[in-house]
A and B are shown apart, each in its own frame.
Chain A
Amino acid sequence: MKVIGQDTQRVDGEALVRGNAVFADDIKLNNVLHVKILHSPVAHAKILSIDVSRAQALEGVEAVFTHKDFKTHYYTTAGQGYPEPGPRDMRILDSTVRFVGDRVAFVAAETLEIAEEALGLIEVEYDELPTIFDVEEAMTSNISLHSESGKSGIHDAAHNVAAHLDAEIGDIIKTLESSKFVFEGTYSTPFVQMASIEPHISLTWLDENNRLVIRTSTQVPFHVRRIVAEVMDIPVSKIRVIKPRIGGGFGGKQEILNEELVAAVTLKTGRPARIEYTRTEELFAARLRHPELVTFRLGFDKNQILTAIDLNILENCGAYGPHALTVMSVTAQKALSMYKAPSIRVNGDGVYTNLPIGGAYRGYGAPQAFFPLESLMDEAANAMNIDPIELRLKNIFKVGDDIPIAKILGEGREGFPMVLYSTEVAACLKQGRELSGWEQLRSEKQIGRYRRGVGVAVAGQGSGIPGIDMGAAFIKMNEDASFNLQVGATDLGTGSDTALAQIAAEVLGVSVDKIIVYSSDTDMTPFDTGAYASSTTYISGSAVKKAAENCKAMILEQGRLLLDNDKAEIEGTFVVGGDGKQISFEDICTKSFYTDEQKQIMGTASHMSYDSPPPFNATFAEVEVDTLTGTVRVIKIVSVTDAGQIINPRMAEGQIEGGIPQALGMTLSEFMPFDDKGRPINLDFNSYHIYTARDMPELVVRFADSHEPTGPYGAKAVAEIPINAPAPAVTNAVYNAVGVRIKHLPIRPEVILGAMSKNGAN
C-alpha cells in the first residue's frame, strides 16, 4: 500500500496552522442578533409567572422567548439514529425547570451586552419543588421529574427511571454459587465535562431563497437538520446545515444544544442570529459524562477461569435523558465483550435527578465499565495470587469467539450476532509489560515517603454502531486527475477528512493532494449519521473505499472505450491496452468532459455494517504516591492499542495521546461538586482542572500489528479506545504502591491517607 499507513499531512493542516478563518465563528454576519439564555437558578421548580415586559422594552432587544411562545412538543437533544432509542422528555422551553442551568427563556438583542442586560430584567416567579440528587433516592422517592403526559420513551416515569436494561445468558445465580472464587465490588465514576476548547457555537441566517442556514460546531449535521426541522415544524428541505472546522467535540457536540434557539430567532425575525456558550455555561449547562455506580460480581473456577460476570448499573442521567439508554447499554456491552464467561447478566437503570444533563462523552459508557471491571480483576488477581497480566491473558476473548452479549443487547433494541475476527490484546499486554518495566517495578519493595507502583488495565470499544450507523460518499473526477471527495462524515478535529482522503487516494492510485475533501454540509454532501461511536474510519471509510472503487471502475470503462480495447487494465494512473497503447487518467477525464463518450466520471456508495469490531488497548501506569500528603503523581503511561491497520500512524498516535490526559483528568484532577441546592461549584478552568502541558506524564504509545478483515484496508476505530483503561491502570498502580483500593473517582488524597492510616500502612 502506498498511502495507507503513511504519516500523510493533514488536508486541513495548513489552514489551521495559519489560523485561517475556518471555524464557525470566523465569518462576519451583518445585522446579527446575539442570543443569550436565562438559566434556572434553582434545581427544581414550576415557573408560576414570567414577565418579560421590562426586558422587551430595553433598547436593542429584538425578541424574548419563553415557554409560552412554543407549543408543547417533546423531543430529545441527542444526535442519534432515528427513531431515537432514548426518551423524548424535553421541550425547547418548559414551564418546569429541573436543574440549575435549565433553560428558562432566551433573548435576542443587537449586542451581547444588551442581551445579557435583558436577562437580568426578566422577572420569574418560581414555585420551588423538592429536589432529588441521589440516584438510589430518586427510584424510591414520591417526587417524579417527568410525570407530564405526552412524553414518550421513558421507562418508568413514576420512579424516575429514564431507561432500563436487563439481559442474562446462562444461569448467573447457580454459576456464582458453584464458583470456586467470587469477587464483588461497587465503584463509581463522576460527572466530567468534555471541555473542548472551542465552546458550542451556532450561527443562523436566511439565504437568498429564504432557506434557513445553520453554521454550527456539531458532530452531527444531519441530526441537527432533522431535529431542528421537527422542533421548528418546517420541512427538512428548508434547512441547510454547514459544519465548518470544529474546535474539538469529544461527544459534547453530538447534541442539538442551541441550534434550535437561534433557528427560532432567525425564523421569527428574519435576521441572522448567533449564540456562543461561555466556559461557565459549558461546565453546567451543556452536557456531561453520566456518573455511574456499578457493582460487579466475578466468578472464577479453580483454574482462575471466569465462570460468571454479573453487573448492576445505576446511571445518573441528570434532569433529562438524552443518551440515557445507550450510554448504559455501552457500559454493559463493553464490560461483557472483554472476557469470556459462560454466565453473564446485566441489570441497569438510568435515573433522573435534579442535576446537569448526561450526554455523549468519548468512551460513551465504556470508561464507566472498565474502571470497575479492571479494578475488580486486579483485586481478583491479588486474591488468587496470580499475576494480573496472566489473569487477563487467561480470560480475554480470542479470534473466532462469539461475543454473545452483542446479539441480545443492541442500540435500544436487539443487536446482531458478533464474532471476533481480530484481537491483539494479548500482544498489547505483552508489549506493554516490556515497555513499562512491569517485572522490576512489581518486585521492588516500596518504603519511605514516596512509593511507586505500577498497574495494568485492558479495555475495548467498538467501531460504529452495528446495523445503525451509515455513511455515504461521492467522488467526482476532474481533468487533472484530481478528485472531489464529498462525505457526510464529520471531522471534528480528529483528522478524519485526511484519513478518508488517504483511503480514496489508495484506491484511485493517486497522491493525497489529488483528493479535495469537502465534508458535512447537508446541501452538498451525502448523508452520514455523524462523528460518534468511533464510526468514521470504519463506516464512512468503507463508504469512501467503495465510492472510490466505483469511480475507478468508471475510469477503466471510459479508458477501454477510448482505447477501443476491452482488455485494457489500470496501471498506476494510466489505462494500458497491452498493445502499446495507453491513455492517462488526465486524458480520459478531459476527453470524457469535452470530446469523446462524454460524461462525468464519478462514484458514489453507502456503507452500513452489522459488525462493529472492537479496538483493544492495554494501558500500564506507573505512579508515585506521597504518603505524607496522599497525592498521586502519574509518572508514565504505556498505552498499546490494537486498532487494526493504522491508516495514518501520526494521527492515530495523536488520538491516543489526547485520550489519555482526558482519562487522567477524570481520575485525578477534574472534579464537579455541587452544593446542597444542586448548584455547581467549579465553573471555570481554574477550578475544573484539565491537564496542562506541565501535568503530563511520560507517554509511550504503540500500536499492535493487526488487521481487521471487515474494515477498510483492515482498519478498526481509534478515537475512543484510549480513554477507557488509564483510570483503572492508575488506581491499580496506587494499590500496588500503597495498598489502597480506590473505588470512587476522582482520587482524593484524603481518601488515600484515611485508608492508609486504617491499614496501618503509615
Chain B
Amino acid sequence: MTIQFELNGHLVQANSLPGSTLLEYLRSDEIHSVKHGCDHGECGACTVLLDSRSVNACLILMHTVNGRKIETLESFSTHEELHPLQKDFLHEGAVQCGFCTPGMILSLEALDREGSEIKETNVRDALNGNLCRCTGYVKPVKAALATLQKSSSTGGDS
C-alpha cells in the first residue's frame, strides 16, 4: 500500500509491504542514524520520534505511520550547528562506540518535549529503553542533565 507521512520535515510517499517495519524503511532509505540492534523493541538502537514521542522503529508497522510525523537524528543538526544534546554528549564524553547514541538523544529529546521537570530519575527513566554496553550511562546522564536542565531553566525548547 502507499502511505504518506512527514519524515524529518519533508512529506514522503512510500510503498510498504504488509508487515514491513519503519526500521526497515528508514534503513533502506539510508537514514543511517537509526540502528538495528535486536528486532524486539528491547535495545532502543532504532529509537525515532513519532509525533514527538520516542518509539522503537522496529516495532512500528509502516502502515501505522500514515499521516504522522517521524523525526530521526538526521534532522537535529545542520552542516554548521549541532543540537544542544549532541554538543553536550560530545563535551561530556558520553559517546563511546556511538551505536546507541542516536537513540539516546531521541529519547532525551522526547523527554524534553514532554515539558516535565528534569531530574536525574526522569532522565534515567527516559533512557531505560536505550541499552548501552559501553558507558554505564554515567556520562550520557550527565550530558542529558547538562542540556535539559539548561533548556528547562530558560524555558527554551532546545
Q: Which residues of A contact B (CB under 8 A)?
A: 7, 9-10, 12-23, 25-26, 28, 194-199, 245-248, 250, 276, 278-279, 492-495, 650-651, 653-654, 657-662, 684-686, 690-694, 696, 699, 701
The answer to whether B36 and A19 have CB atoms under 8 Å apart is no
CB-defined contacts of A196 to chain B, threshold 8 Å: 97, 99, 133
The answer to whether A18 and B40 have CB atoms under 8 Å apart is no
CB-defined contacts of B42 to chain A, threshold 8 Å: 279, 684-686
- When C-beta atoms are compared, the residue in chain B nearest to A686 turns out to be B42
What DSSP secondary structure best describes chain B's contact surface?
A: loop
Query: Which of A10, A22, A199 is close to B36, meaning CB atoms less than 8 Å apart?
Result: A199
The answer to whether A690 and B136 have CB atoms under 8 Å apart is no
CB-defined contacts of B127 to chain A, threshold 8 Å: 692-693
Contact with A along B7-41 (1 / 0, CB 8 A): 00000000000000000000100101111111110
With A and B bound together, what is the CA distance between A650 and B94 in angstroms?
A: 9
Query: Which of A12, A650, A692 is close to B98, meaning CB atoms less than 8 Å apart?
Result: A12
A-contacting residues, B114-142, CB 8 Å: 123-125, 127-141
CB-defined contacts of A247 to chain B, threshold 8 Å: 35, 97-100
Residue among A12, A195, A654 with the most chain B CB within 10 A?
A654
The answer to whether A493 and B43 have CB atoms under 8 Å apart is no
A493 and B97 in contact, given A19-B73, A694-B125 (Cβ under 8 angstroms): yes
A198 and B37 in contact, given A12-B98, A16-B95 (Cβ under 8 angstroms): yes
- Closest 8 A-B residue pairs measured CB to CB? A493-B97, A19-B33, A16-B98, A247-B99, A685-B42, A657-B136, A693-B127, A650-B93
B45 contacts the other chain (CB 8 A): yes
Residue among A18, A26, A28, A278 with the most chain B CB within 10 A?
A18
The answer to whether A657 and B139 have CB atoms under 8 Å apart is yes
B86 contacts the other chain (CB 8 A): yes
CB-defined contacts of A195 to chain B, threshold 8 Å: 133
B66 contacts the other chain (CB 8 A): no
With A and B bound together, what is the CA distance between A661 and B140 in angstroms?
A: 14
CB-defined contacts of B93 to chain A, threshold 8 Å: 7, 9-10, 650-651, 653-654
The answer to whether A28 and B90 have CB atoms under 8 Å apart is no
- When C-beta atoms are compared, the residue in chain A nearest to B42 turns out to be A685
B158 contacts the other chain (CB 8 A): no
Tell me, rounded to whole Å, the shortest Cβ–Cβ distance linking A378 to chain B: 25
The answer to whether A694 and B128 have CB atoms under 8 Å apart is yes
With A and B bound together, what is the CA distance between A658 and B132 in angstroms?
A: 9
CB-defined contacts of B101 to chain A, threshold 8 Å: 16-17, 19
CB-defined contacts of B133 to chain A, threshold 8 Å: 194-197, 248, 250, 658, 662, 690
- When C-beta atoms are compared, the residue in chain A nearest to B141 turns out to be A693
User: Interface size bucket, B side?
Assistant: 35 or more
CB-defined contacts of B3 to chain A, threshold 8 Å: none
With A and B bound together, what is the CA distance between A9 and B82 in angstroms?
A: 15
The answer to whether A692 and B99 have CB atoms under 8 Å apart is no
Tell me, rounded to whole Å, the shortest Cβ–Cβ distance linking B133 to chain A: 5
The answer to whether B128 and A685 have CB atoms under 8 Å apart is no
A-B contact pairs, 22 of them (CB 8 A): A9-B91, A13-B95, A13-B98, A14-B82, A16-B98, A17-B89, A26-B32, A196-B133, A197-B43, A493-B99, A493-B134, A653-B93, A653-B139, A654-B135, A684-B38, A684-B42, A685-B40, A691-B136, A692-B131, A693-B141, A694-B128, A696-B138
With A and B bound together, what is the CA distance between A495 and B56 in angstroms?
A: 28
Tell me, rounded to whole Å, the shortest Cβ–Cβ distance linking B103 to chain A: 9
With A and B bound together, what is the CA distance between A418 and B138 in angstroms?
A: 36
Tell me, rounded to whole Å, the shortest Cβ–Cβ distance linking B155 to chain A: 25
A658 and B96 in contact, given A25-B36, A199-B36 (Cβ under 8 angstroms): yes
The answer to whether A279 and B139 have CB atoms under 8 Å apart is no
With A and B bound together, what is the CA distance between A26 and B92 in angstroms?
A: 26
Tell me, rounded to whole Å, the shortest Cβ–Cβ distance linking B15 to chain A: 15
- When C-beta atoms are compared, the residue in chain B nearest to A28 turns out to be B30
Residue among B96, B98, B129 with the most chain A CB within 10 A?
B98
CB-defined contacts of B102 to chain A, threshold 8 Å: 19
The answer to whether B95 and A17 have CB atoms under 8 Å apart is yes
B64 contacts the other chain (CB 8 A): no
Residue among B35, B73, B96, B97 with the most chain A CB within 10 A?
B97
Tell me, rounded to whole Å, the shortest Cβ–Cβ distance linking B136 to chain A: 4
With A and B bound together, what is the CA distance between A195 and B100 in angstroms?
A: 13
Query: Which of B77, B89, B131 is close to A197, meaning CB atoms less than 8 Å apart?
Result: B131
CB-defined contacts of A690 to chain B, threshold 8 Å: 131, 133
CB-defined contacts of A7 to chain B, threshold 8 Å: 93
The answer to whether A279 and B43 have CB atoms under 8 Å apart is yes
The answer to whether B32 and A694 have CB atoms under 8 Å apart is no
The answer to whether A23 and B40 have CB atoms under 8 Å apart is no
CB-defined contacts of B51 to chain A, threshold 8 Å: none
With A and B bound together, what is the CA distance between A421 and B147 in angstroms?
A: 44
Tell me, rounded to whole Å, the shortest Cβ–Cβ distance linking B5 to chain A: 20
CB-defined contacts of B86 to chain A, threshold 8 Å: 17-18
- When C-beta atoms are compared, the residue in chain B nearest to A249 turns out to be B97
Query: Which of B74, B105, B128 is close to A693, meaning CB atoms less than 8 Å apart?
Result: B128
Query: Which of B43, B90, B134 is close to A17, meaning CB atoms less than 8 Å apart?
Result: B90
CB-defined contacts of A660 to chain B, threshold 8 Å: 136
CB-defined contacts of B45 to chain A, threshold 8 Å: 197-198
Query: Which of B32, B38, B140, B141 is close to A279, meaning CB atoms less than 8 Å apart?
Result: B38
With A and B bound together, what is the CA distance between A195 and B38 in angstroms?
A: 10
The answer to whether A21 and B32 have CB atoms under 8 Å apart is yes
The answer to whether A10 and B97 have CB atoms under 8 Å apart is no
Besides A17-B101, A23-B99, A278-B38, 19 new A-B residue pairs in contact (Cβ under 8 A), listed by A number: A10-B90, A12-B98, A13-B98, A17-B82, A19-B33, A19-B102, A22-B98, A194-B133, A197-B35, A197-B133, A198-B35, A245-B97, A247-B35, A250-B133, A654-B135, A685-B38, A685-B40, A692-B137, A693-B128
The answer to whether A693 and B37 have CB atoms under 8 Å apart is no
CB-defined contacts of B99 to chain A, threshold 8 Å: 23, 196-198, 247-248, 493
With A and B bound together, what is the CA distance between A10 and B131 in angstroms?
A: 21
Tell me, rounded to whole Å, the shortest Cβ–Cβ distance linking A143 to chain B: 36
Tell me, rounded to whole Å, the shortest Cβ–Cβ distance linking A662 to chain B: 7
With A and B bound together, what is the CA distance between A662 and B33 in angstroms?
A: 25
The answer to whether A197 and B37 have CB atoms under 8 Å apart is yes
- When C-beta atoms are compared, the residue in chain B nearest to A637 turns out to be B136
The answer to whether B33 and A197 have CB atoms under 8 Å apart is no
The answer to whether A686 and B96 have CB atoms under 8 Å apart is no
A685 and B82 in contact, given A246-B97, A493-B98, A696-B137 (Cβ under 8 angstroms): no
A699 and B100 in contact, given A10-B93, A693-B128 (Cβ under 8 angstroms): no
A658 and B43 in contact, given A23-B99, A693-B124 (Cβ under 8 angstroms): no
- When C-beta atoms are compared, the residue in chain A nearest to B123 turns out to be A693
Query: Which of A14, A248, A657 is close to B90, meaning CB atoms less than 8 Å apart?
Result: A14
